[in-house]
Amino acid sequence: MIYTNKMGLPQEIANAMPTERHCKQGEISATTLIKGAKQVVLSDRHFDEIEVDISDCIKPLIGTAVHHYLEVKNPNAFTEEKFSVEVQGKKVTGQIDLYDMANGVIYDYKTTSVFKVIYKSYDEWQKQALIYAWLMKKNGLEVKKCVFVPMFTDWTKAESRRKADYPNGGAMTVEFEVTDEALKEIEEYINLKVAEISKAETLPDDEIPECSELERWATKGVFKVKKDGRKTALRVFDTEEEAVAFSQGVAGSYVEYVRGEDKKCTGYCNACQFCSYYKKMIEGNNGVAA
């Protein structure tokens, strides 16, 4: 990983940047399993070539500091414990923030934006939680529930008073129950993902299948019916036909297409510069990554 410091931040911040790969050779972590195989393989394959500015790493740096600060000494709990299970010749791993042994509860701390909660974007968290629970069950420990503790990096009291769907405080909890059915489903998911990543490792960069829409955090394009002098759209439609039909009944209105966005690709994938899907997307957008 090549770190730059375009914002001229203090050297102490640069020194705090991680220099090792997230996963050791032959290992796949729980957080890696919930990513697209193309992102996983390209990130590992081009690790020494990827360039990242340290100003873009502040949020994960804060998260690391929070995890370190919250390590506790509790006779009925343990923290930062790593579990592993071999799957198809690879070691699937997961590091638990805190496990309450008395109640069979996993706690996982997250530093994140309030929009994660506002939009209830919990799919990846739930997968991660169930992978942890599966790993622990394979190691003889029971998990009844997983509790995520999002701590917001952008929460404001003023917004909490103004918006009904805004978090009431700077942190909260999001819980997922662990059932036998859910563990069976996540085991199938783990096996499929390990096989997918293993296959991708044998392919040249451009032949690795693109990440799924869910893995790319893709949003769909929409057709907005707008009117001069008005900031917001009159209506938003999924199809052009619906938008045109509505617009014809509103004098002075017009239809504007707002294309969808692959949010992971454009802002959260360090390997995007090596990705054939991303390159084609940029070409189609006249060089604009959005």
Which tens digits make up the pLDDT trace of 225-250? 999 888 899 999 999 999 999 999 99
Predicted local distance difference test score (pLDDT) of residue 79: 77
pLDDT in tens, 141-200: 999 999 999 999 999 999 999 998 999 999 999 999 999 999 999 999 999 999 999 999
Residue 75 reports pLDDT greater than 80 = no
pLDDT of residue 4: 94
Q: What does the domain layout of the chain look like in residue ranges? A: 2-207, 222-284
| Residue 22, CA distances (Å) to 40, 93, 126 in order | 11, 11, 21
For 103, what's the count of Cα atoms within 13 Å in the CB-facing half-sphere?
A: 9
Task: State residue 289's pLDDT score.
Answer: 56
Give the pLDDT of residue 62. 85
Q: Report the pLDDT value the prediction gives residue 237, as an integer from 0 to 100.
A: 94
Average pLDDT over the chain, rounded to an integer: 91
Mean per-residue pLDDT, 1-8: 93
Q: What is the pLDDT of residue 77?
A: 73
**Residue 133 pLDDT > 70, yes or no?**
yes
- pLDDT on residue 287: 52
| pLDDT number for residue 68 | 77
What's the pLDDT at 66?
80
DSSP of 227-241, one letter per residue?
A: ETT-SS-SEEESSHH
Residue 72 — very low, low, confident or very high, per pLDDT cuts 50/70/90?
low
CA distance 41 to 49: 13
pLDDT of residue 29: 96
Mean pLDDT for 103-131 is: 93
Within the chain, residue ranges assigned H as helices are: 11-15, 30-33, 37-45, 58-69, 115-118, 123-138, 157-162, 180-200, 240-247, 263-267, 276-284
d(CA 69, CA 72): 8
The 10 Å Cβ neighbour count of residue 4 is 12
pTM listed for this prediction? 0.85
User: What type of residue sits at position 44?
Assistant: D
CATH of segment(s) 2-207: 3.90.320.10
> Is the predicted pLDDT of residue 36 greater than 60, yes or no?
yes
For the cut 80, the answer to whether the pLDDT of residue 99 exceeds it is yes
> Is a pLDDT exceeding 60 seen at residue 286?
no
What's the pLDDT at 69?
75
**pLDDT the model gives residue 201:** 97
Structure letter (DSSP) for residue 111: E
* Mean pLDDT, residues 42-56: 95
Average pLDDT for 76-88: 87
* Tokens read off for 186: 């996540």
pLDDT over 80 (residue 106)? yes
**pLDDT at 290 > cutoff 60:** no
Q: Is the pLDDT at 74 greater than 70, yes or no?
A: no
Average pLDDT over residues 92-105: 93
